[in-house]
Amino acid sequence: MFTLFNLVIGVLWALILIFGEWQDSLFGLVIVANALIGIVQELRAKRTLDRLAVINEAPVRVRRDGREREINPRDVVLGDLILLGPGDRLLVDGEVVHSDGLEIDESLLTGEADPVHKQPGDQVLSGSFAVAGSGAFVSTRVGTDAYAVKLAEEASKFHLAHSELRAGVANFIKYITWLVIPIGALLIYSQLHNSADLRTAVTGAVAGIVTMIPEGLVLMTSIAFAVGVVRLGRRKCLVQELPAIEGLARVDVLCLDKTGTLTAGGMDLDEVLPMPGEHPAEEALAALAHLDERPNATAEAIRARYPAAPAGWAARSTVPFSSARKWSGADFGGHGAWVLGAPDVLLHGGACYDRATELAATGTRVLALCRTDSLDATERGQAAVEPVALVTLKQRIRPDARETLGYFAEQGVTLKIISGDNPLAVSAIATGLGIPGGERALDARDLPHDDPAKLGELLDAHTVFGRVSPQQKREFVAALQARGHTVAMTGDGVNDVLALKDADLGIAMGAGSPATKAVAQVVLLDDSFATLPHVVGEGRRVLANIERVSNLFLTKTFYAIVLSLAVGLAGMQFPFAPRHSTLTNALVIGIPAFFLALAPTLERARPGFVPRVLRFAVPAGVLCAAAVLVSFWAAHRGASTLLEDQTAAVITLFLTTWWVLVLIARPLNWWRTGLVAAMAVLFAVALSLPFVREFFALEPGDLANDLTAVGVSLVAALMISAAVKLAGTLRP
């Protein structure tokens, strides 16, 4: 409500109510309409976001009065004992009181990518998140005292997604505001100086100034964004930043994490294949799976086969699983130290390694169960491990994955499959889904780390990458962006957080870790990969339609600027009154813009929004203004009345701007044809019905004037079509 344009229109509205007739003050209703429509749409969007945010908000696990419970994040108080597991976000500051291999990633606060091991007594800060192990801490600073909140207040690193659309509209408004002031002053002076009638002078000046203001452009942009949020909300898609909708339309590279995106959540234990020798493989496997209070998907699959931990297998020390390490382990005392993890990390050749490679090539997820002399030495890569068994797990391919991937291929969006799994396993799944280039997977451990240009070339040339570390995912995003790509990244695990944050658009799965959902701009709450085409389609709809609407509003602004300048410099009567402007603007801009802004479209986003709109609106506006001036001048030379002269100018204005509407509405399907035809019919009705003519001060009584207006309009329409074609701003 409190905008510069509303202030200007409000002052002009008051002037008309004082000096003019009330019919000429209809333009003032724009303030009321803008405010009401904008408020309603914003409230609808806010309600949708609030409902989705509650669903998305991860509860905090605390121990109160001796029992564990989940509470709302805002209900955490000082002294709460907060429990942590992999993927949990820290929402308050505190002191660690228990650690079972707890590792905290503080990269969002410090920029340091390596996780930090936390021991009892260590401090933990809000804004970080757990990546491995488990533990508990006592909250010592909550609310505005928490570190992350203070950091945000002092120098927030958070920024909205870049919006060329938002920036372009803001620039239009800024420059037009500066133009309105001097041109409006010139127009007011000329009308007062050359008109004996104060009422006529004021209404003429107001008509010119009001027409220069694109008062509905910001409204239509806000409505399009808000409606996009509501539409996506109905598909269980939470848009956490409005400009992210625009980012959806510009994406040309989509990086997909295999696990949780192409494959459904969870796995099934397939086989335990023992190696030669007498070893308690199944007992060790069951014991390892029951170590963590909050098991990952692999441990859950093993637990389903072995629901109870074997007796006598108590762990003396443990090493929790992490994406960087790619294995977990425990020392069971007399039973020895055991590790479970990726074969290509734990093993270095041999029959077991070869067998694991063969299995992985079929798309099976393979783990190696090994004995080791020392967990510490294994972590340093200095211990010899003895392979005991291979464990195979079945991954569940999402039923909608193939169709969704086909959609992106049709839309020209390049896919990059990025996974921490074995490259052969990832390649098998990609090939099975028909992803082009899926058979040529690269092992990320062999990629250059110190040559971003070379890395970018390899990323452009290949589609599937395995054994990608969390830090490499971030490097991949940066390398693709450096090559001019607009990159979207999907993910669900803590290992995806840094890449999601750096991508142009981060898309998180609803079942993913709280840290992942916190940094993403879009969250797919129902974990449906098939929602992504709707997400991209909504972004393209918003972007393409706002460009159409901007063409309409800016054409009006430029013809008003040219008319006002010409009238002010020539010292002539303004060609029409405010009510005339209200009528034509409603029929060729206001009503059509509302429908065009919300219409479905399959157009792909194109860069260069601002120059493209200007290349259309400037020549179209100038030619419309020239046609109106010619018609008014020709009519004014005859013996007709001022009202008849203004009517001829209004006919010309409507016909030329209606043709602009036709050009913008293309391609003309049935409903667009009906829309532009309905506007023409409504204008004909306004000229035909006596009470409507009287209300809008129209008097089409001079046939020569009216025919001249039609002829001038036809010539102007041909010139506008030629100018638009020459500029190449619209698709046919």
Which of the given ranges, 408-412, 563-567, 659-663, has the highest pLDDT on average?
Answer: 659-663
Which of the given ranges, 28-32, 222-226, 359-363, 641-645, has the highest pLDDT on average?
Answer: 641-645
Q: Which helix H or strand E contains 183, and what residues bound it?
A: helix 164-194
- Assigned token pair, 710: 């039609």
Quote the percentage of the chain above a pLDDT of 70: 87
Can you give the pLDDT at residue 122? 92
613 vs 35 pLDDT, higher one = 613
User: Stretch 528-538: mean pLDDT, rounded?
Assistant: 80
52-91, pLDDT tens digit by residue?
655 556 789 999 988 899 988 888 999 999 999 888 888 8
User: Stretch 473-492: mean pLDDT, rounded?
Assistant: 90
Can you give the pLDDT at residue 3? 64
Strand duo 337-341 + 365-372: pairing: antiparallel
The band of 156, judged by pLDDT with boundaries at 50, 70 and 90, is: very low
120-151, pLDDT tens digit by residue?
999 998 878 888 888 999 999 988 788 766 65
Q: What is the chain's length?
A: 732
265-312, pLDDT tens digit by residue?
667 898 999 998 888 999 999 999 998 877 877 888 899 999 999 999
| Mean pLDDT computed over every residue of the chain | 82
The band of 113, judged by pLDDT with boundaries at 50, 70 and 90, is: low
501 vs 494 pLDDT, higher one = 501
Please check the confidence at residue 504 and state whether its pLDDT lies above 60: yes
Question: Residue 70 carries which side chain, given as an amino acid letter?
Answer: E
For the chain, what is the radius of gyration of the CA atoms? 33
Sheet arrangement for strand 522-524: 237-239, 522-524, 505-509, 487-491, 253-257, 414-418, 464-466, 441-443
Spatial separation of the C-alpha atoms in residues 89 and 87, rounded to whole Å? 6
Which of the given ranges, 53-62, 113-122, 201-210, 341-350, has the highest pLDDT on average?
Answer: 341-350
Instruction: Give the E-state strand segments of 47-145 in sequence order.
Output: 60-64, 67-71, 81-84, 93-105, 116-117, 123-124, 129-141
Spatial separation of the C-alpha atoms in residues 67 and 90, rounded to whole Å? 20
Please check the confidence at residue 241 and state whether its pLDDT lies above 80: no
379-390, pLDDT tens digit by residue?
887 788 899 999
- pTM equals 0.64
671-680 — which CB contacts under 8 Å span 24+ positions? 671/599, 672/599, 675/592, 675/595, 675/596, 676/592, 679/587, 679/588, 679/591, 679/592
Can you give the pLDDT at residue 89? 84
- Assigned token pair, 24: 């000429």
Nearest Cα to Cα of residue 286 among 310, 266, 317, 312: 310
The band of 429, judged by pLDDT with boundaries at 50, 70 and 90, is: confident
Can you give the pLDDT at residue 732? 42
User: Stretch 219-237: mean pLDDT, rounded?
Assistant: 77
522 vs 114 pLDDT, higher one = 522
Residue numbers annotated as active site:
257
Instruction: Give the E-state strand segments of 14-112 in sequence order.
Output: 60-64, 67-71, 81-84, 93-105
Please check the confidence at residue 237 and state whether its pLDDT lies above 90: no
Q: How far is CA 318 from the centre of its chain?
A: 41
Can you give the pLDDT at residue 423? 86
Spatial separation of the C-alpha atoms in residues 136 and 490, rounded to whole Å? 30
Please check the confidence at residue 494 and state whether its pLDDT lies above 70: no
Please check the confidence at residue 160 and state whether its pLDDT lies above 50: no
Can you give the pLDDT at residue 39? 74
> Number of C-alpha atoms within 13 angstroms, CB side, residue 23?
13
Range in 10-24, 114-128, 652-666 with the lowest mean pLDDT: 10-24
Can you give the pLDDT at residue 157? 38
